[in-house]
Structure 1
Amino acid sequence: MSDDVRNIVLGVVAAGISAALGWIARTYLWKRKLRRKQMFFGMPENSESLLVVNRDPATAEPAVHRIDVFALLELSALIKDCGAHAQVVTQDAAHQGFGERTEFCVGGPGSNRRVLYRPQ
């Protein structure tokens, strides 16, 4: 085996090892970032989350402002990144207990649900 062939083989092997190490490091950092995001928002893998929107009082249909639609799109991308499942409900149809699901209330003051804490 000549010196040129040996140098080429060593170069290919070194490139393969460095590419594998880079891929492992990037995957580790990506998973770490995902776990931190899931912990911050309280949405582990396959969890449920609610997107609470306003209801139009005249027609009893969900009424979402154009700016709020952009927020819902961003939130749905965040929920999908965390591996959770989203459900869009109106503020009067969301009858869940405190802390069971992650809730995002989007809209005016009508979409903010009031949860009373009653110590037992």
Structure 2
Amino acid sequence: MYESRAYEAETDGIVVRVRPSYLAGQSDPDAGRWVWAYQVEILNLTPSPVQLVARRWTITDARGHVEEVRGPGVVGEQPTIQPGDSYSYASGTSLGTGSGSMVGVYSMVDDFGRTFEANIPAFSLDVPGGRRVLN
């Protein structure tokens, strides 16, 4: 596994940090399959609890092929994050190229019933030592 730097975005007191890692052992470049894991930390800096109710990802490979992924919560959960606390999870994706990027938003609901979107920072998916095509 090859870890890259962390990416971070803050929206309305919600900090989202993402650290992608290339999984060489699960990738098969000869078959056109490159695999990454990513670790996400969501920190609530607001004075009230927030619940993550949905996600939307845009995944782009080096050829410009775009895939949009939407769904409820993350990894089968819709966590409530208390003020000053964080929630972390790991997930992954595969691409048909050795370079790409991901970006997205989490749909959140605060204690007052207000719905808002917290930005997930754009981050690079690059094979270590490989040629960067998109970013």
State which structure, 1 or 2, has the greater radius of gyration over its C-alpha atoms: 1
**Bigger fraction of residues in strand:** 2
Shorter-chain TM-score category? Answer: under 0.3
TM-score w.r.t. the length of structure 1 is 0.26
TM-score w.r.t. the length of structure 2 is 0.24
**Bigger fraction of residues in helix:** 1
